[in-house]
């Protein structure tokens, strides 16, 4: 699906259809591909008024008590695991994880957590290509 970053409603609709009760969305893409921008759009879609920022240095941000945003770039999966963050994923809501890798995806599958992978690539300067797949 090719969309401009200001027109992400169809993508948010798809995420909600596939995870109506909440779940985990692994956000994959290069630096500056739009992972945090998607999270901002998703928060807006959920009618959350919180200012969404990248949790690069804090690892986790929570918005409205039902949108959880994680960034593993600086810490990696091992640190995520050692801090007990897997238990956070059991909280009701949507859990968007930037920089989740195959190790995390394997853990989520073994835990039986409903998980999607959102791959984001630059199509051109004004738009991104989004591919949603079930983990």
21-60 residue pLDDT tens: 999 999 999 988 889 999 999 999 999 988 888 877 778 9
Q: How many CB atoms lie within 10 A of CB 87?
A: 8
Instruction: Output DSSP code: residue 127.
Output: E
pLDDT tens track of the chain, all 135 residues? 777 667 888 999 999 999 999 999 999 999 888 899 999 999 999 999 888 888 777 789 999 999 999 999 888 888 888 888 888 999 999 999 999 999 999 999 999 999 999 999 988 878 899 999 998
Rounded CA-CA distance 86/63 in Å is 18
The residue to which tokens 């998607």 are assigned = 38
Please give the radius of gyration of the chain, using alpha carbons only, rounded to the nearest integer. 14
Average pLDDT, the chain: 90
**pLDDT at residue 126, rounded to an integer:** 81
Rounded CA-CA distance 103/105 in Å is 5
CATH class of 2-134: alpha beta
**pLDDT at residue 5, rounded to an integer:** 67
């Amino acid at each position: 699906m090719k969309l401009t970053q200001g027109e992400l409603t169809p993508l948010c609709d798809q995420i909600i259809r596939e995870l109506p009760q909440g779940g985990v969305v692994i956000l994959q893409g290069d630096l500056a591909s739009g992972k945090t921008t998607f999270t901002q759009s998703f928060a807006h879609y959920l009618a959350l008024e919180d200012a969404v920022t990248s949790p690069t240095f804090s690892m986790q941000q929570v918005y409205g008590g039902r949108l959880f945003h994680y960034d593993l770039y600086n810490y990696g999966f091992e640190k995520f695991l050692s801090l007990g963050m897997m238990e956070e994923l059991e909280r009701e809501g949507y859990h968007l994880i930037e920089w989740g890798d195959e190790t995390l995806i394997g853990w989520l599958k073994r835990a039986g957590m409903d998980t999607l992978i959102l791959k984001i690539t630059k199509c051109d300067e004004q738009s991104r290509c989004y591919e949603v797949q079930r983990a």
